């Protein structure tokens, strides 16, 4: 009887969850043209103009940063975030690899979310930690050097590969949860920005070194 009650409760939660998702999905905020408009507005802002960017790659990178700022506001705050937090009420979830990867992104210890002595997610344990990932994701800054040394499971290339392999089934995942797919896309964007920033900083350091080596070889001017 208790198991039946749980199943009925889960069904009620799921129905309400889908209804709430459909309302958010129809929101103006999620229209691609509004997202693109926010990026174009940023390109015409005084903040962007003051950077005097000439390089097209850096311009594109700045656009992606604005995209991430726009998405963070509507995914990690307000109705969408509240909806995503509702997964903690579910007894079971599908696409556990997504949930595990998102928990790892937020540096949640595998020992407290996985089955004992395995790397298999145990949702009954993991859902207790689920709500805790959102402040971390919201505060994460993909720009600039990081001094922490990450364990293998937390490395972005591994998380990126895991998420990309799962969301090849985009249509299936969107039917399961529009909100979850939005969060995955946001995390993949943040990881891309992080990798691009590392590459840009490496290029800058390399260029500065080449200029330094060149200047050291130039003869001193004597008057």
| pLDDT tens, position by position, 136-156 | 999 999 998 887 777 788 899
pLDDT at 122: 96
pLDDT at 208: 74
pLDDT at 7: 55
Question: How big is the CA angle at 116 (ends 110 and 120), to the nearest 5 degrees?
Answer: 60
pLDDT at 23: 81
pLDDT at 6: 53
List Cα–Cα distances, 202 to 40, 142, 157, 183, in angstroms.
28, 15, 18, 29
| pLDDT tens, position by position, 75-95 | 999 889 999 999 998 888 999
Q: Which candidate, 112, 30, 110, 75, places its Cα nearest to that of 188?
A: 75
pLDDT along the chain (223 residues), means of 10: 51 74 76 86 92 89 93 91 92 93 96 93 96 95 83 89 92 91 96 92 78 59 38
What CA–CA distance (Å, rounded) separates 41 from 50?
14
**What is the SS3 assignment for 113?**
coil
């Amino acid at each position: 009887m208790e198991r039946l009650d749980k199943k009925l409760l889960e069904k009620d939660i799921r129905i309400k969850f889908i209804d709430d998702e459909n309302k958010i999905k129809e929101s103006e905020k999620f229209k691609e043209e509004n997202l693109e408009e926010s990026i174009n507005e940023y390109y015409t802002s005084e903040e962007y103009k003051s950077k005097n960017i000439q390089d097209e790659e850096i311009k594109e990178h700045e656009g992606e940063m604005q995209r991430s700022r726009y998405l963070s506001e509507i995914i990690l705050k307000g109705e969408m975030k509240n909806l995503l937090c509702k997964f903690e009420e579910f007894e079971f979830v599908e696409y556990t690899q997504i949930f595990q990867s998102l928990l790892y992104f937020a540096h949640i210890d595998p020992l407290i979310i996985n089955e004992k002595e395995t790397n298999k997610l145990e949702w009954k344990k993991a859902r207790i930690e689920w709500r805790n990932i959102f402040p971390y994701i919201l505060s994460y800054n993909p720009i600039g050097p990081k001094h922490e040394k990450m364990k293998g499971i937390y490395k972005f290339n591994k998380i990126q590969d895991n998420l990309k392999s799962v969301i090849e089934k985009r249509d299936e995942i969107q039917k399961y949860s529009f909100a979850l797919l939005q969060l995955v896309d946001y995390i993949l964007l943040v990881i891309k920005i992080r990798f691009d920033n590392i590459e840009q900083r490496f290029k800058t350091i390399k260029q500065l070194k080449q200029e330094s080596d060149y200047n050291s070889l130039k003869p001193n001017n004597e008057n």
